[in-house]
Structure 1
Amino acid sequence: MTKLSIINNASIKIKDVNRIYIDANGNLVEALRNINLAIRAGEFISFIGPSGCGKTTLMRLIAGLDKPESGELFIDNKKINNTSFERGYVFQQANLFPWETIENNIAAGLKARKIYKENRDKIHEYIKLTGLEGFENSYPHQVSGGMAQRASLARALINDPKVLLLDEPLGALDAFTRMDLQDKLVELWQKRGTTMILVTHDVDEAIYLSNRVVIMTPRPGKIEAIADINLKRPRNRTDLEFTELKKEILKKLHFAGEH
């Protein structure tokens, strides 16, 4: 694995976490059961499993957007009780402000924190880092879905988060754009060393990006297995090691689905 140049990252501990909620029909739903996991500082880790297995619920708990019924979550040994700019969140849809330019969307977090003036020089750095040069003055409706997601990444990264939470950010993109942004994510991770946590349904994507892949069961979501990804980078989706690892993870997913 390429050596990380660690700048700003964090370790996360999830201890005995359970999450239950009431759905729109008034039914009691057990989303997560007894989740225990340690995520290393500077790690790229993916959660994979069937729809409804609690992957996004777990991401929301790490982000501080939700709270567990029982159990605790920690970042650098500090309990997570609420949201923080230390945890950036990138959603499946870019969720850019349609009335703002790409540049102003990227700067939104700095303005919200009232640190825009002293950090405005960083904006071009992140525009360049995410390959958005030439699109600074465009509006979201004028750029492709891939470019919009690049802007969403830049908006999250400009706040120097210790953790970047990626909730299926590439799921709605075409295959070519998706692979291009996968490479960009790897590049950003290697340059910055930010702890990255990805939710995905795509086994190839999880293997291509991650140090470890966490396989979850159908609801109630439990951790069925954790696969270590020890492939050298850059990774080749068609080589034998990659395809054998994919077969192994698919088997574990199938087994998890039978529980």
Structure 2
Amino acid sequence: MAKGVVKMTSENIKAGSITIKNISRKYIDANGSEVEALQNINLEINPSEFVSFIGPSGCGKTTLMRLIAGLDKPQEGEVLLDNEAIKGTNYERGYVFQQANLFPWETIENNISAGLKARKVYKEQKDKVSHYIKIAGLQGFEKSYPHQVSGGMAQRASLVRALINNPKVLLLDEPLGALDAFTRIDLQNKLLELWRDRGTTMVLVTHDVDEAIYLSDRIVVMSPRPGKIEEIVDVKLSRPRSRSDENFLHLRTEILEKLNLASAPKSLEYYI
């Protein structure tokens, strides 16, 4: 079990392992040109681990998340959940997008219960809805519509909408990127609280180095396109973490340097 995971809830929650083997992904852009998004990605993500991907825009982070989610397929290699190849989407892999992506015509309560209804288990598990509304701190807003609540509240609803299905892995594709600083910090702490309580494997895409350090067991630094893993940083800081701690600041500087090196053009070598 990953560092910092201290307990599980009464729910029968199982954390999953992700294996990424020799993944490469190309696609055709709007101009008809072939673009190599990912090249030979290999990674093991352990059960209950919190792993972040960080790198320049266009390095394939979201492409990789879509492959793990089963929303896309690689041309080469495979992605496995608990040693079984991922083929298509499944509730065992929850996905939280950058925008809350709630159904605007449904109430907060109905949005949170949508996955249970889609799986046809709502009647047996409807008591979970009020429990997750409480977890998200949305009591009193059950009958509100997405446009009637703040961005942070909508993203909380999106988060528990994914978690109510008890996924083995929660995929977080820059879910806090559009929020103000105070709301972002609040939701980072909520994520950590849920991760510690549940032990769910969490995979985060972010551009925020501080966020990656604050949340993660490991940080995967990616290169510009074609996306490759430049380095994997083991975050050995004890929890809870302070952003003003000397070791935190030192690691931030170290990762920023790695990102600058990863993004720098490769020097040319001339042979005469």
Answering whether residue 235 of structure 2 is matched by residue 229 of structure 1, we say yes
Aligned residues: CA RMSD: 0.9
The 5-angstrom pairing of residues 154-169 of structure 1 reads 154-169=160-175
* Alignment match, 1:86: 92
Alpha-carbon shift at residue 5 of structure 1 (Å): 2.5
Counterpart of 1:136 (choices 139, 142, 158) is 142
Answering whether residue 146 of structure 2 is matched by residue 146 of structure 1, we say no
Alpha-carbon shift at residue 66 of structure 1 (Å): 0.3
Alpha-carbon shift at residue 2 of structure 1 (Å): 2.7
* Alignment match, 1:190: 196
The 5-angstrom pairing of residues 169-208 of structure 1 reads 169-208=175-214
The one-letter code of the counterpart of 2:127 is D
* Alignment match, 2:270: none
Alpha-carbon shift at residue 4 of structure 1 (Å): 3.2
What stretches of structure 2 of length at least 5 have no aligned partner? 267-272
Alpha-carbon shift at residue 132 of structure 1 (Å): 1.3
The one-letter code of the counterpart of 1:50 is P
CA distance in 1, matches of 2:123, 2:51: 34
* Alignment match, 1:253: 259
* Alignment match, 1:10: 16
Counterpart of 1:122 (choices 118, 128, 147) is 128
Identity over aligned pairs, percent: 71
Deviates more, 1:229-238 or 1:176-185: 229-238
Counterpart of 1:63 (choices 62, 66, 69) is 69
* Alignment match, 1:100: 106
Aligned residues: 259
Answering whether residue 40 of structure 2 is matched by residue 34 of structure 1, we say yes
Alpha-carbon shift at residue 205 of structure 1 (Å): 0.4
The one-letter code of the counterpart of 2:56 is P
CA distance in 1, matches of 2:65, 2:251: 25
Preserved contact between residue 5 and residue 195 of structure 2 (Cα < 8 Å): no
The one-letter code of the counterpart of 2:64 is L
The one-letter code of the counterpart of 1:189 is W
* Alignment match, 2:56: 50
CA distance in 1, matches of 2:194, 2:60: 27
CA distance in 2, matches of 1:39, 1:33: 18
The TM-score with structure 1 as length reference comes to 0.98
SS at match of 2:32: coil
* Alignment match, 2:27: 21
4+ residue segments displaced more than 3 Å: none
The one-letter code of the counterpart of 2:104 is P
What stretches of structure 1 of length at least 5 have no aligned partner? none
Deviations 1:67-86 (A, max 9, x none): 00100111100001111000
CA distance in 2, matches of 1:187, 1:219: 34
The one-letter code of the counterpart of 1:23 is D
The TM-score with structure 2 as length reference comes to 0.94
Deviations 1:154-189 (A, max 9, x none): 100000000000000000000000000000000000
Task: Say which one has the larger Rg.
Answer: 2
SS at match of 1:247: helix
